[in-house]
Amino acid sequence: MAHQLPPTLSSKTGGGSSSEGSGAGLTTFNDTSTAGHATLTNYGMPSQPDPGGATVFTGSSSADSAILIANGTGDGGAIIFVDDSTGGTARVKVFDAGYLDISQRQPGVTIGSIEGSGNVSLGANRLTVGTNNINTSFSGVISGTGLLSKIGSGVLTLQANDCIADTVGLVLVSGSSIKLDFTGSPDVIASLKVNGVPQPPGIYGGPMSGAPHILPEFRGSGTVSVGGQPPPPPPPRPLTIIQPNGGEVWSMGSVQEIRWDSTNLKRSDHLILQYSRDGGATWFRIAQNIPAFTFGYWWQVDNFPTTQGRIKILLQEDRSITDQSNANFTVQRVPYITLLRPNGGEVWTIGQYQNIHWSRQNPGGNTVDIDYSVDNGTTWIRIATQAEDTGFYLWNVPGPATTTAKARIRFHETPSVTDTSEAVFTIVSP
């Protein structure tokens, strides 16, 4: 059966068509027949065992400038080229389970454009797209062991990083464009040829991609990786420091847990623990012969302040297996504050100004809260909140008169660091 469809005819084929009743529709072009300017839509078969509708080009037939659509669920609609058939400038749209199949058309076929979310089966053949010079977008999968070749001035936008299978090669010619409109890992492809020149393995992309190899034929932020299958992910690290891994603040002399993950080591393995004060330039030993399966070691922190602390762990049986803190941690002096005045026995007069005086080690740059009591510390009255930690505070002594006054000072940010007058002092009337 030979077809030559009038330019205005829209032919819908496929199971579920009201004109078919049941079963799949098949439109075949053979000999030198042509689809002209027709629109042919092929539907899938979501609930019947029959194959979906199909448009098949055989012999020396041509798709000419038709619009060919394949969609549907289940066994989706199909567009198939075999023998010596040609694609002309046809606009091919495949959606969902719909597909284009050129696996039996050697050495390949040229069409106007490809778009949609369906599938393309190349076999070992070459699909050339772009003769109609229009912009299209594709988010499906092009599979097989053949080639996808882009020609023409239209832009083909690939919307996912798996549109081209890693067994398919890509061919670009000058003036043609593919937009890689996705983020994340590259689309791995088997090979890349640009203007007849094979490209070496590597990561390729357009000027906005940040790829190591920039090609003007690419647009968008995505990239392709040339060279076949991606390298396998590295095996899990057998030894990984969990704490301290950077950013911790530990006090000198405090006891802290060094923790690690060694799930890939043997139960008989042992570890060496080392510590650096200078970001890893030099190391000294903390401990050795630590069973790896314990996953932790309690360490009395070094009595030397630093902002460049790091921990290193080595497998004692094979010191090439090691890990260290990803970034520096801090070892700081233990903060303290000591109230020097009033500290007991003073006699201060209401209305006079007196200096409250304290000493401190304040590595965090804290401010201080100051209180006083007239009942030997049973209740407290605020003098100042977040006063500067200068060591002195000028206080206008208030009433009432009392013989059981006390003062208290503490870091505002760490209230547990505090001190109180050792004994009572006296406040008297003028």
For residue range 148-179, list pLDDT tens digits in order.
Answer: 999 999 999 999 999 999 999 999 987 899 99
Q: ∠ CA 276-278-279 to the nearest 5 degrees?
A: 80
For residue range 228-275, list pLDDT tens digits in order.
Answer: 555 556 666 688 999 999 999 998 999 999 999 987 788 889 999 999
Residue type, 349: T
| CB contact set of 391 (below 8 Å; sequence gap of 6+) | 357, 358, 359, 360
Q: For residues 367 and 386, is the Cβ–Cβ distance under 8 A? A: yes
SS3 content of the chain, % helix, strand, coil (to 5): 0, 50, 50
Share of the chain above pLDDT 70, in %: 89
pLDDT of residue 194: 94
DSSP state of 333: P
Query: Residue 69: CA atoms inside 13 Å, Cβ hemisphere, count?
Result: 13
Number of Cβ atoms within 10 Å of the Cβ of 298:
8
Residue 139 scores a pLDDT above 90:
yes
DSSP state of 232: P
d(CA 341, CA 355): 8
d(CA 43, CA 53): 5
pLDDT of residue 26: 85
- The rounded radius of gyration (Å) of the Cα atoms in the chain is 39
For residue range 397-426, list pLDDT tens digits in order.
Answer: 999 999 999 999 999 988 888 999 999 999
Share of the chain above pLDDT 90, in %: 74
pLDDT of residue 43: 84
Residue 223, judged by CB atoms within 10 A of its CB (0-12, 13-18, 19+), counts as buried
User: What does pLDDT average to over the chain?
Assistant: 88
For residue 63, what are its two tokens?
Answer: 């798709």
Residue 11 scores a pLDDT above 80:
no
* Topology annotation, domain 240-332: Immunoglobulin-like (2.60.40)
For residue range 298-322, list pLDDT tens digits in order.
Answer: 999 999 999 999 999 999 988 889 9
pLDDT of residue 9: 35
DSSP state of 378: S
Residue type, 26: L
For residue 283, what are its two tokens?
Answer: 């190391």
Local confidence band at 10 (pLDDT 50, 70, 90 cut-offs): very low
The enclosing H or E element of 245 equals none
Is there a common fold for 240-332 and 336-428?
yes
Residue 4 scores a pLDDT above 80:
no
pTM of the model: 0.52
pLDDT of residue 289: 93
Q: For residues 325 and 310, is the Cβ–Cβ distance under 8 A? A: yes
pLDDT of residue 363: 59
Token look-up 């504050």 returns 337
Q: How far is CA 379 from CA 84, 300, 374, 386, 401, in A?
A: 100, 38, 8, 20, 16
Q: What is the mean pLDDT of residues 115-128?
A: 95
Is the domain spanning 336-428 CATH 2.60.40.10? The answer is: yes
Sheet strand arrangement including 240-243 = 240-243, 255-261, 296-300
pLDDT of residue 74: 61
DSSP state of 52: P
pLDDT of residue 21: 30
For residue range 346-385, list pLDDT tens digits in order.
Answer: 999 999 999 999 998 865 567 999 999 999 999 999 999 9
Poorest-confidence range of 31-35, 49-53, 248-252? 49-53
Domain ranges of the chain: 10-226, 240-332, 336-428
pLDDT of residue 238: 82
pLDDT of residue 230: 52
- Residue 302, classed as helix, strand or coil, is coil
- Residue 293, classed as helix, strand or coil, is helix
